């Protein structure tokens, strides 16, 4: 299953990048895609779990919220950089997390980096180290909101 | 000058503004961890806005699809690189700057 | 429009280059080089429009991939002293 997913992804990516549809090039595309998929399918799809459509919809709804948070974060950064007095008070904070899967942890780490005032420094079992800029110490509340949304995306039944 | 050129120009110059802010932030902020904030957020959004402006200018074809791939890759890879830099600095024992030490 | 944007980004690169020269720690320098790489991706895409050569977009895509891999590999090397 992971072999087929990797093969199709590589093949579609090749065809989109080359933009040519002659017989010889398509033959090379299939050949190289088979070769690459044979070597790397266990890296590309670690373990196939049946995702439901509901989780995919939750993920699609998560993206606009994340984009809005990125815009808020950038307005904050612009305000900090332009202000001559530079209103910052950096701090390292440990937060707890209940996420277990690699996908969930990756999504959580990248989201924390992109959302206002926080950057992920280290991620371990059940614990993340967050570096916060800014003078208001509301980091933990925002991070728990992100985590709640990601748990909804992951689903609880197939962890 | 039609409306599409104007909209894409607004996006491109907004992206330039955020990239310049990221550069000034990297120059001005006091230590490595705070510089990561400017580099990880403002630069990601700036690049995204510039490529969005180019996509609007180009219309839908194969080139704008490639630009969409670049945008998706940037939004995954840039926070990951920021996290890798922060983790490497933290493991090597770089102390974060605190406000009290400054006074 | 594309000319002006490219000039603004080159000036921003000069600011980042100053931090790369000055940077007190090695991580500051790596971060600055990463930022220079991401600006290079944008400049490559804009050059494709200035000289009307759409194939520059392929170069931008490949440079984005290489820049990410290079940054992570360099950080790993600084961190552990080896690359395996």
**Paired strand residues for A94:** A129
* Dist. CA C9–CA A55, nearest whole Å: 40
Report the greatest alpha carbon distance in chain C.
46
pLDDT: which is higher, B100 or A45: A45
Which residue in the set A77, A113, A121 is minimally distant from B25, CB to CB?
A: A77
Verify whether the Cβ–Cβ distance B70 to C32 is below 8 Å: no
Q: Does B65 touch chain C (CB under 8 A)?
A: no
Q: For residue range B71-97, what is the model confidence (pLDDT) as tens digits? A: 888 888 888 888 888 888 888 777 777
Which of A47-51, A149-153, B31-35 shows the lowest mean pLDDT across its residues? A47-51
* Dist. CA C51–CA C54, nearest whole Å: 9
ipTM summary value: 0.83
Domain extents in chain C? 2-80
Domain extents in chain B? 3-91
Verify whether the Cβ–Cβ distance B67 to C58 is below 8 Å: no
Note if the pTM is more than 0.90.
no
pLDDT: which is higher, C13 or A92: C13
CB C70 within 8 A of CB C83: no
Query: Per-residue pLDDT averaged across A81-110, rounded?
Result: 76
Q: How far is C47 from chain B (nearest CA, A)?
A: 12
- Per-residue pLDDT, A30: 86
Q: For residue range A134-143, what is the model confidence (pLDDT) as tens digits? A: 666 555 556 6
Highest mean pLDDT: which range of A112-121, A145-154, C59-68: C59-68
Q: Give the rounded percent of residues in chain A with a pLDDT score beyond 90.
A: 0
**Burial of A99 by CB count in 10 Å (0-12 exposed, 13-18 middle, 19+ buried)?**
buried
CB B53 within 8 A of CB B12: yes
Q: For residue range A34-81, what is the model confidence (pLDDT) as tens digits? A: 888 888 877 777 665 666 677 778 778 888 888 888 888 888 888 888
Which residue in the set C12, C31, C58 is minimally distant from B39, CB to CB?
A: C31
Judged by CB atoms within 8 Å, which residues 4-33 of B form the interface with C? Answer: 5, 9, 12-13, 15-16, 19-20, 22-24, 26-27, 32
When pLDDT is cut at 50, 70 and 90, the band that residue A159 belongs to is very low
Scan for tokens 């924390």, then name that residue. Answer: A112
Query: Per-residue pLDDT averaged across A152-156, rounded?
Result: 65
* Dist. CA A117–CA A76, nearest whole Å: 8
Query: Per-residue pLDDT averaged across B25-47, rounded?
Result: 84
Got the DSSP string for A13-30?
A: HHHHHH----HHHHHHHH
3-state SS assignment for residue A86: coil
Query: Per-residue pLDDT averaged across C9-15, rounded?
Result: 89
Phi then psi for residue B93, to 5 deg, are 90, 25
Query: Per-residue pLDDT averaged across B3-11, rounded?
Result: 87
pLDDT: which is higher, A70 or A96: A70
CB B17 within 8 A of CB B25: no
């Amino acid at each position: 299953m992971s072999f087929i997913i990797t093969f199709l992804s590589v093949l579609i990516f090749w065809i989109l990048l080359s933009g040519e549809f002659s017989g010889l090039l398509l033959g090379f595309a299939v050949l190289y895609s088979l070769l690459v998929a044979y070597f790397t399918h266990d890296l590309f799809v670690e373990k196939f779990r049946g995702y439901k459509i509901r989780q995919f919809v939750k993920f699609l709804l998560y993206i606009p919220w994340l984009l809005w948070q990125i815009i808020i974060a950038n307005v904050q950064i612009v305000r900090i950089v332009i202000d001559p007095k530079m209103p910052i008070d950096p701090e390292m904070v440990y937060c707890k997390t209940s996420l277990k899967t690699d996908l969930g942890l990756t999504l959580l780490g990248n989201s924390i980096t992109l959302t206002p005032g926080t950057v992920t420094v280290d991620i371990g079992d059940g614990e993340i180290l967050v570096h916060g800029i800014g003078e208001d110490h509301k980091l933990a509340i925002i991070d728990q909101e992100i985590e709640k949304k990601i748990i909804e995306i992951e689903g609880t039944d197939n962890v | 000058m039609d409306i599409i050129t104007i909209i894409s120009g607004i996006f491109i110059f907004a992206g330039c503004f955020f990239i310049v802010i990221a550069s000034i932030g990297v120059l001005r902020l006091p230590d490595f961890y705070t510089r990561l904030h400017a580099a990880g957020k403002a630069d990601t959004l700036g690049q995204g806005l510039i490529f969005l402006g180019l996509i609007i200018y180009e219309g839908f074809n194969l080139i704008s699809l490639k630009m969409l791939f670049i945008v998706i890759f940037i939004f995954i890879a840039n926070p990951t690189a920021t996290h890798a830099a922060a983790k490497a600095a933290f493991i090597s024992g770089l102390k974060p700057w605190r406000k009290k030490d400054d006074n | 429009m594309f000319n002006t944007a490219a000039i603004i980004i080159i000036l921003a690169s000069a600011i980042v280059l100053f931090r790369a020269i000055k940077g007190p720690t090695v991580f500051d320098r790596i971060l600055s080089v990463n930022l220079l790489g991401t600006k290079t991706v944008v400049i490559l895409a804009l050059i494709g429009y200035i000289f009307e050569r759409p194939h520059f977009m392929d170069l931008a895509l490949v440079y984005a991939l290489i820049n990410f891999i290079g940054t992570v590999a360099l950080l790993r090397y600084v961190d552990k002293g080896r690359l395996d």
